[in-house]
Amino acid sequence: MVVVGASAAGVAVVETLRREGFDGPISLIGAELELPYDRPPLSKRMLSGQWTAERTVLRPRATVEGWNTDLRLATRAVRVDAAARRVILDDGDELAYGDLVIATGVRPRLLPGLPQVPGVHVLRTLADAVALRDALTDGPRLVVVGAGFLGAEAAAVACELGADVTLVSDLEAPLADVLGPELAGMLLDEHGRRGVRVETGVRADEVLVADGRASGVRLVDGRILPADEILVAIGAVPETGWLDGSGVPVGNGVFCDATCSAAPGVWAAGDVASWEHPGLGERIRLEHRTNAGEQGMAVARNLLAARAGRPATPFAPVPYVWSDQYDLTIQIYGRPRPGDALRIVEGSTAERSLVALHGRDGRVRAATGINRPRQTRAARALVARAAPWETGSAPEHGEREGVPA
């Protein structure tokens, strides 16, 4: 058994395989140097300096060792021969597999022609977070290009650390495509109130360089934002290049069926996996931390079922993502889309605490909570069963959370 990618999804696969009693050999291949660590803190308490790097480990070393795997860190899989069922590593080693799990995640998308000079940052790895944190120590001018979860979180932390922050959003407000105009507007106000300048409805064109380091960002409208440090946070692309020519189907991610299988004996989990979500009736790929864990568990169980000749189970989670910005905790169940109807069912934007439902095609499709974790979780049930939009504004009496639709 070979698992490629030693992060949230890969760890969940291995942990579940062992927990389900699989005691055969497992090779866990990870390109990074560190023991598996967690990424969400990298734009939150690790970036702010409240946490040290050690705090981000996913599992204590003893637990990792207890899995008894052939763990190869700082090692990259460079090729797969799916017909011969072999993985080729960058040190020349070849590993035969019965089952291969692809958990290689995503890497940051870059601006075209982005210069590789000091002062230009992305934020995906522990090393990225350390570099950005170190760059924020003496109140620099920081331009954050991209106001998705990552950019908005980093802007919030940088601002709290005393940086002079400009956040560039190609939408009318940070996360407007996910949250809708009303809630994104609240977020826009919050960033403004804290002292972050937000340039909305405009894209960055180019990173400017002077004396060998980043000096600013030119926007497509010609304006120039001077900067000492620049964070490019414009999304991510699946790490599938090493699968080219392998016979494993890839497009926007590894293309899997509803059970997360991509080819005989090949599975994918986490940010890299695109699969047919049976409940939603469409192919999706999620870059969410909880999904990496849940999908890793599902793949491990399906893989063992297939080996035992039992049917695999379709993977049909309720997507969940959260984001911390300043003292706001934003939690989203389901998949909101631009143009969804929005109804605030508890609290209000003025209170900075609320639960809102997103409706589409007459059904509740998603729920967003701000600073109301418990109540937001209760609204998850409405998303899970796609409650009717008109009547389904409150959990039904006695409804138990977590029961799938």
Partner 1 sequence: MRITIDEDRCCAAGQCVLAAPDVFDQRDDDGIVILLDADPGPDQHAAVRDAAAACPAAAIMVEE
Ligand X SMILES: Cc1cc2nc3c(=O)[nH]c(=O)nc-3n(C[C@H](O)[C@H](O)[C@H](O)COP(=O)(O)OP(=O)(O)OC[C@H]3O[C@@H](n4cnc5c(N)ncnc54)[C@H](O)[C@@H]3O)c2cc1C
- State the binding partner of 105 from ligand X, partner 1, none, CB within 5 to 8 A by kind: ligand X
Using CB under 6 A, which of the segments 179-187, 316-324, 333-341, 375-383 binds ligand X? 316-324
SS3 128: helix
Rounded Cα distance between 175 and 193, Å, is 17
Kindly state whether residue 106 participates in binding ligand X, applying the rule CB under 6 A.
Answer: yes
- State the binding partner of 76 from partner 1, ligand X, none, CB within 5 to 8 A by kind: ligand X
Residues between 258 and 297 with contacts to ligand X, criterion CB under 6 A: 270-271, 287-290, 292
Residues 216-255: x where in contact with partner 1 by CB under 8 A, - otherwise, as a string: ----------------------------------------
Rounded Cα distance between 221 and 199, Å, is 11
Q: What does the buried/exposed string (b/e) look like for 150-163 if buried means 16 or more CB atoms within 10 Å of the residue's CB?
A: bbbbbbbbbbebeb
232: CB partners within 8 A, 6+ apart: 108, 110, 111, 114, 120, 121, 122, 145, 146, 207
Name the packing angle between helices 8-19 and 289-307 (round to 10°).
40
- Choose between 80 and 378: whose C-beta lies nearer to partner 1: 378
Residues between 178 and 217 with contacts to ligand X, criterion CB under 6 A: none
Residues 328-367: x where in contact with ligand X by CB under 6 A, - otherwise, as a string: ----------------------------------------
- State the binding partner of 331 from ligand X, partner 1, none, CB within 5 to 8 A by kind: partner 1
CB 328, CB 370: distance < 8 Å: yes
**Beta bridge pairs of residue 238:** 106
Rounded Cα distance between 242 and 182, Å, is 42
Count residues contacting partner 1 (CB under 8 A)?
29
Using CB under 6 A, which of the segments 30-38, 212-220, 361-369, 381-389 binds ligand X? 30-38
Using CB under 6 A, which of the segments 35-43, 51-59, 175-183, 276-284 binds ligand X? 35-43
Using CB under 8 A, which of the segments 53-61, 99-107, 124-132, 238-246 binds partner 1? 53-61
Please report where in the chains the tokens 């946490």 appear, as a residue.
Answer: 51
